[in-house]
């Protein structure tokens, strides 16, 4: 019997976006595996082009969406007085979160800026929160969880036990709990914070939607697919087309997972295809949301023994694999590799099936090596 796709899922919204070059035999017709161009990109702030320019990892596309971390940090300092913590965490143009190396660089810069501020200084506390969040995004959920727990007493002291800032921290912390496999604890915390948010009239806010998506992750991980599906239906019904597309993609990804969990595979395929198309269009092929959507699509193919199609769907993940320099493995990328490795195992079992796309032995070795490395780093 072929192995079923893994149902473990994670919800930290980021993956590394560094370029990667994987050597493959060009004659084998592998799709989507290759190098990012060697030309240096141009910083959208100072307009210089050199090797220090990195992708912002937000929703900006084309010539925008690249900057020197130092230039973007300078811009964040200037914006901070107007927009607060968002200056450091999300793009002022497309309003999506920075991800990948840019996220890590900005969080270091902000920590450095606030190093001499008092323990209860709001900017210092939010820089610590962002630091923990960035750790989780980079696949270090255990470190993130420790940082959240260390910061919580200071947050409660500075802002008040039931303050929005404390609720934010708890919401992020529940994501790290999920990523660390503590799903029951995550769910209990999410329910507690959602109840507080409801009492404050914060239903249908961005905070509410994000936290609800995290709760859906907990339910999915616990195998409570029907309940997760109901939660997601209620969420999307309440937004009536006005929700940010980042949220729509997140909700669709989880909806597809619910349907897969319930073995409603046709519907799951349909939702996954729609999600991948939207994520590609809005965020581009390398964005974490797109990687996540492709993994779900691949898992759907795998559930029907279509290993070749699963691997094809994952070609964007192979493209997004981080460079040897960053050495960062995101939890989502690791899940994608699990799916890819399962697809390879399955494909070998079904090698004679004509509907399977033929994937070379060289590709198999590449993916296995990646999977092994990602598994090691996540242990």
Interface residues toward Zn ion, by CB under 5 A: 43, 45-46, 58, 60, 68, 71, 91, 93-94
Compare residues 137 and 329 and give the one whose CB is closer to Zn ion. Answer: 137
CA angle, residues 98, 257, 356, in degrees to nearest 5: 100
**Distance separating alpha carbons of residues 13 and 15, to the nearest angstrom:** 7
CB of 232 to Zn ion, least distance (A): 26
Burial 62-98 (b: 16+ CB within 10 A, else e): eeebbbbbebbbebbeeebeeeebbbbbbbeebebbb
Q: What are the structure tokens assigned to 118, written together? A: 């008092």
Residue 81's SS3 state is helix
Compare residues 67 and 129 and give the one whose CB is closer to Zn ion. Answer: 67
Q: What are the structure tokens assigned to 119, written together? A: 């323990």
Q: Please enumerate in sequence order all residues whose Cβ is within 8 A of that of 156, keeping only pairs 6 or more positions apart, or say none.
A: 166
Task: Count CA atoms within 13 Å of residue 62 on its CB side.
Answer: 3
Beta bridge partners of 42: 49
CB of 249 to Zn ion, least distance (A): 15
Compare residues 43 and 235 and give the one whose CB is closer to Zn ion. Answer: 43
Nearest to residue 336, comparing CAs of 371, 304, 301?
371
CB of 178 to Zn ion, least distance (A): 26
CB of 18 to Zn ion, least distance (A): 18
Residue 346's SS3 state is helix
CB of 61 to Zn ion, least distance (A): 8
Compare residues 94 and 107 and give the one whose CB is closer to Zn ion. Answer: 94
**Distance separating alpha carbons of residues 242 and 190, to the nearest angstrom:** 24
CB of 285 to Zn ion, least distance (A): 16
Compare residues 110 and 283 and give the one whose CB is closer to Zn ion. Answer: 283
Compare residues 62 and 81 and give the one whose CB is closer to Zn ion. Answer: 62
CB of 57 to Zn ion, least distance (A): 9
Compare residues 91 and 125 and give the one whose CB is closer to Zn ion. Answer: 91
């Amino acid at each position: 019997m072929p192995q079923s796709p893994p149902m473990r899922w994670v919800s930290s919204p980021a993956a590394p976006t560094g370029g990667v070059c994987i050597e493959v035999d060009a004659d084998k017709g592998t799709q989507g595996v290759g190098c990012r161009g060697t030309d240096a990109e141009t910083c959208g702030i100072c307009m210089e082009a050199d090797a220090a320019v990195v992708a912002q990892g937000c929703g900006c596309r084309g010539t925008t969406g690249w900057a020197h971390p130092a230039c973007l940090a300078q811009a964040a300092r200037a914006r901070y007085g107007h927009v607060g913590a968002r200056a450091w965490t999300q793009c002022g143009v497309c309003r999506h979160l920075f991800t990948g190396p840019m996220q890590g660089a900005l969080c270091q810069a902000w920590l450095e800026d606030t190093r001499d501020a008092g323990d209860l200084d709001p900017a210092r506390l939010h820089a610590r929160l962002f630091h923990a969040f960035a750790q989780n995004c980079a696949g270090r959920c255990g470190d993130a969880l420790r940082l959240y727990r260390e910061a919580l007493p200071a947050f409660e002291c500075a802002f008040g036990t039931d303050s929005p800032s404390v609720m934010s921290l708890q919401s992020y912390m529940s994501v790290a709990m999920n990523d660390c496999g503590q799903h029951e604890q995550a769910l209990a915390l999410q329910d507690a914070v959602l109840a507080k948010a409801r009492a404050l009239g914060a239903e249908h806010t961005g905070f509410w939607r994000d936290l609800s998506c995290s709760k859906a992750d907990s339910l999915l991980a616990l195998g409570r697919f029907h309940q997760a599906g109901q939660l997601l239906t209620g969420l999307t019904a309440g937004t009536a087309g006005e929700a940010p597309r980042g949220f729509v993609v997140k909700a669709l990804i989880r909806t597809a997972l619910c349907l897969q969990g319930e073995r409603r595979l046709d519907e799951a395929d349909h939702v996954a295809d729609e999600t991948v198309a939207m994520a590609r269009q809005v965020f581009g092929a390398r964005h974490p949301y797109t990687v996540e959507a492709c993994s779900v699509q691949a898992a759907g193919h795998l559930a029907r023994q279509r290993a070749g199609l699963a691997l094809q769907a994952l070609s964007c993940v192979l493209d997004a694999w981080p460079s040897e320099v960053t050495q960062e493995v995101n939890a989502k990328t690791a899940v994608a590799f699990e799916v890819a490795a399962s697809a390879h195992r399955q494909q070998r079992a079904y090698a004679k099936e004509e509907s399977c796309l033929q994937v070379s032995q060289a590709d198999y070795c590449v993916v296995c090596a990646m999977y092994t490395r990602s598994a090691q780093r996540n242990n």
